[in-house]
Amino acid sequence: MPSNIVIAIDGPAGAGKSTVAALVAKKLGLKILDTGAMYRCVALKAIRIEANSEMHLGSLAESARIEFQPGEPQRVILDGEDVTEQIRTLQVGKRASEVSVFPSVRGAMVKRQRKLVESGGCVLEGRDVTTVVAPDAGVKIFLTASIEERARRRWLENKAETLQAVVKDVVERDHRDYTRKDSPLTLSDDAVIIESFGLTPEQVADKITKLAKGK
């Protein structure tokens, strides 16, 4: 396995990308780039100052200072503030899905993400990483599960909402992700599809690790 390998993990909301990516990175000693956390940071800023227009949101995306620091989970720093827990709420997740449809926001984020993976040696996850952010990644994974299973996982993480409300949110996010004009969620021709239902995150990570070591 080359030391500068890039492993891209794509797939819909709730498929387990973040958990699996962290495990793979740890097993292989690679850096991790959580692209979803970057959109969540923009969403958090938008919520705090009630920004709604594309022009305003694009400006927020351009100016946001986003850093990742070691930790379990990996710490996310926004404009000098640790927002690791704040960005994981259902409210921020929903807003992140909404703001990510704007080309100005996606353009700003993708530009940063491509820069961060230029040197390789990393695992990145998100909903366009195999097709837009890192189309030349050495290993491409499309991780998925049924809507019901993905909603159940999200509900277990945050029971502030009813399970029915979380199912509705997952369906709406899927629709936005698959139908947005800029970088919609699509299946890369050379991606390996992994159905995560019935598998533990460790088992999924082991599958990806074996694929990487076979390169």
Domains annotated for the chain, with CATH where assigned, are: 6-213 (3.40.50.300)
Q: Of the ranges 41-55, 89-103, 164-178, which one carries the lowest mean pLDDT score?
A: 164-178
Contact 2, 138 (CB under 8 A): yes
Helix (H) / strand (E) containing 110 = helix 103-117
| Average pLDDT of every residue of the chain | 92
Q: Which parts of 126-214 are beta strand (E)?
A: 139-144, 192-195
Cα 100 from chain centroid (whole Å): 11
Q: What average pLDDT score do residues 118-140 get?
A: 94
pTM: 0.83
Would you state the pLDDT for residue 181? 76
